[in-house]
A and B are shown apart, each in its own frame.
Chain A
Amino acid sequence: MGDRLPALLKDSALTALMAAALGLFIVGFQTRDIGQGLFFDYQFVDLGIAVVTIFFGRLGLHLAAMGLKWPSFALGTVLGAVGASPLKMPSTFLHWFVVIAGVLIILRTIWPWANAALAKARHSERGRAMGQRGAKWFGAILLIAAVLLPFTPFADQKNMDLAVLILTYVMLGWGLNIVVGLAGLLDLGYVAFYAVGAYSYALLSTQFGLNFWTVLPLAGMFAATFGLLLGFPVLRLRGDYLAIVTMGFGEIIRLVLLNWVDLSNGPAGIGGIPGPTLFGAVFAETAPPGQQTFAQMMNIPFSSNQRLIYLYYIILLLALVTNFFTQRIRRLPVGRAWEALREDETACKALGINPTNTKLTAFAVGAMFAGFAGSFFAAKQRFISPESFTFIESAIILSIVVLGGMGSQIGVVLAAVLLIGLPEWFRDLGAYRMIVFGLAMVLIMVFRPRGLIAHREPSVRLHPVRAGP
């Protein structure tokens, strides 16, 4: 490699130079408004660190590509260590930048080796059996962790809030997975059914005083009905056309909520929505007349965390019901028909399967779970407005399903943690967090084009899988 070193250094230096030229104006100068006018802040240290990192990063990638495992591994480790060290750098982002560069080089180094090992494992009987056991254990551990989370030291206000948010998206992802992952119907307007559920609870509770547990099934039914109404005319469309029409439907629901002021109070939204109760006990400091608070019922001091933990368990339960239902229905004729429809609609028709009815059930069932999640959302937020149901929500839920791996249940959980959790945890990166978010998405698309977990477990087996010796 000795004779190639100068060429490598030259190429890395060129890359660094290019980065410096590009970054000079974007990173090097920052304008600041201090009253009398705009002034420049110079950030040449930031730029310098970035350029040096890029130089070594490029060098590391070259070394890895040439198969020089140890030098590139060492370089990656050093970069990672420098980034993670308490060295004074101008911003947290730079720390992350250097760390990520190091991690990427290490990943690039072990990639060919790991890939070969994985491919080998995937094609051996024993590897498959181990993979299945692993998935089972992983799922069980996740579940236990989720149940115990409120009793761990991590359960502060911020983390619990985030956990509830993530679980809401996990549930929505699992619901949409029925429509997109199983039945293969690209639905870009899923948030419409979420909105129907949310407004069902908001209106029925504030206008008619119904409680959460009464409205929950009703909200699911309303959403499912909307699913049927929408599905009937549009399900003869396929693929992209279906996606566009469902996207339109999502917007229509939002616009109706925005403009039908008599019903929905328009852009002002609906406030004062009561939270969910537990056997009639409310989660508040003082109970309304005729009711008691949870703290009084249990004879414990009141804490605002109690409400959050209760909400957490409700959404965990709802999400698990969704998961259980999906797992179960996948093994039933209707679930298999959904998957068959995704694979080949013409063949389904030839086998005497009614494609319209089958698609409609998938659409309605998916909508029902969105309705459940929606009424939970309303009960949690206590205030809803059409703002919460924009297209971007549908896009995020769909990204969770696609990134997780279509049809994979555990993949949805990972993707939800990644897509909802990461941007929240990386809030201190400021404006850069969306870049990190985008980078994560691009990396997944490059390395796992079929989603994080692309494996499909058959719904039924003739020969049970033999465990390894």
Chain B
Amino acid sequence: MSAAHPEPLIEVEHLTMRFGGLVAVDDVSFSAGPRQITAIIGPNGAGKTTVFNCITGFYKPTVGRLTLRADQEYLLERMLGHEVGQKARVARTFQNIRLFPGMTVLENLLVAQHNKLMRASGMSIFGLLGLQRYRTAEAAAIEKARGWLERIQLLPDADRPAGELPYGAQRRLEIARAMCTDPQLLCLDEPAAGLNPRESAELNELLVSIRDRDGIGVLLIEHDMSVVMRISNHIVVLDYGRKIAEGAPDMVRNDPAVIRAYLGTAEDGPDA
């Protein structure tokens, strides 16, 4: 668990994002290792989500370079919005849950496997003809979805519309949906927001298993310190768009700049 991993999974260099006169992210550099959970923390408005939006292709950074080193090297800042998900396979979840509420839980997980299934269905032609090749691929996709539903304890709800699920289940489903895209990097935007302590603890387990069992690097924005401090390997602290600290949880916890900016008050203490 060191920042100086020989070959980081994603490297953010001199990332700057300006909206008109507002500088949301100002010359931020950090890297996240493979098979590690890297948390980005900071007070509200620190630019955490903007960093995420740049990494996942929703914003084009004003300045900076974003390199993903996985099966090959991708320069994320040069890719179109959906290509970051399609080619570089960077998956993400959203601060305000964005499921497909009218579709069933299972369908949500199948949509996530769209690109793989699309190839198998031969641009829909094999699929329309009902060829074996497509049917095998679809069965495999359903099996994968079933595996994830078991892991997030939603198997009995597979055929319910996703919008009907309770809040905590929707959060878990969104993570499972992102995982169904076979990501090389998983970006989670406040996955613990609105969860009760028990659900938070379950989330911790899920994230640790994604790191250790699936071997996926996770990038995490989170306010809930019980999640951040317990499972992160590495923490990056932002304030007013700048990086003010970086390091292992214990180091960050005791950094005076961080305490001043973010952990200063009693309620926000590291043991909260």
Q: Do these two chains really belong together in a complex? A: yes
Q: Which of B158-214 contact A (CB under 8 A)?
A: 158-159, 161, 177-178, 181
Check A336 for interface membership: any CB of B closer than 8 A.
yes
Contact B114 A346 (CB under 8 A): no
Q: A352 near B106 (CB under 8 angstroms)?
A: no
- The answer to whether B128 and A329 have CB atoms under 8 Å apart is yes
Number of interface residues of B (CB under 8 A): 49
Q: Are B98 and A355 within 8 A (Cβ)?
A: no
A342: chain B residues at CB < 8 Å are: 102
Measured between beta carbons, the chain B residues less than 8 angstroms from A343 are 99-103
Contact stretch, chosen from B1-9, B25-33, B116-124, B239-247 = B116-124
Q: Which of A347, A349, A354 contacts B99 (CB 8 A)?
A: A347
Residues of B within 8 A of A344 (CB): 98-101
In contact, B158 and A353 (Cβ under 8 angstroms): no
Binds B, one of A156-164, A222-230, A367-375, A459-467: A459-467
Q: Is the CB of B102 within 8 A of A349?
A: no
Chain B, residues 15-58, CB within 8 Å of chain A (1/0): the string is 00000000000000000000000000000000000000000111
Residues of A within 8 A of B114 (CB): 333, 336-337, 340, 351-353
CA A346 – CA B57 in complex, angstroms? Answer: 11
Kindly list chain A residues whose C-beta atoms are within 8 Å of the C-beta of B81: 349
- B86 on the A face (CB < 8 A): yes
Tell me which of B84, B91, B100, B146 has the highest count of chain A C-beta atoms within 10 A of its own C-beta: B100
- A192 CB to closest chain B CB (Å) equals 24
Number of A-B contacts defined by CB within 8 Å: 129
A-side interface residues, number (CB < 8 Å):
31
Residues of A within 8 A of B89 (CB): 352
Determine if A334 and B107 form an interchain contact, defined as CB atoms under 8 angstroms apart: no
Inter-chain contact A350/B94, CB cutoff 8 Å: yes
Say yes or no: B124 contacts A350, CB within 8 Å.
Answer: no
Interface residue from B92, B101, B102 paired with A350 (Cβ < 8 Å): B92
Residue numbers in B under 8 Å from A37 (CB-CB): none
Interface string of A317-343 (1 = CB under 8 A from B): 000000001001100111011011011
- Contact between A339 and B82 (Cβ–Cβ < 8 Å)? no
Set B101, B121, B181: member contacting A332, Cβ < 8 A? B121
Q: Kindly supply a per-residue 1/0 record for chain B positions 69-104, scoring 1 wherever the CB is within 8 Å of any chain A CB and 0 otherwise.
A: 000000000000111111101011010001111111
Contacts of B127 in A (CB 8 A): 328-329, 332-334
Binary interface profile of A, 110-122, with partner B (CB < 8 Å = 1, else 0)? 0000000000000
The answer to whether the Cβ of A458 comes within 8 Å of any Cβ in the partner chain is: yes
The 15 sampled A-B contact pairs (Cβ below 8 Å) are: A329-B127, A329-B128, A332-B128, A337-B111, A346-B58, A347-B94, A347-B99, A349-B85, A350-B92, A354-B86, A361-B124, A460-B104, A462-B145, A462-B146, A462-B158
Closest 6 CB pairs of A and B: A352-B85, A352-B86, A343-B100, A462-B158, A333-B117, A347-B98
Binding site for A on B (CB under 8 A): 56-58, 81-87, 89, 91-92, 94, 98-104, 106-107, 110-115, 117-118, 121, 123-124, 127-128, 134, 142, 145-146, 149, 155-156, 158-159, 161, 177-178, 181
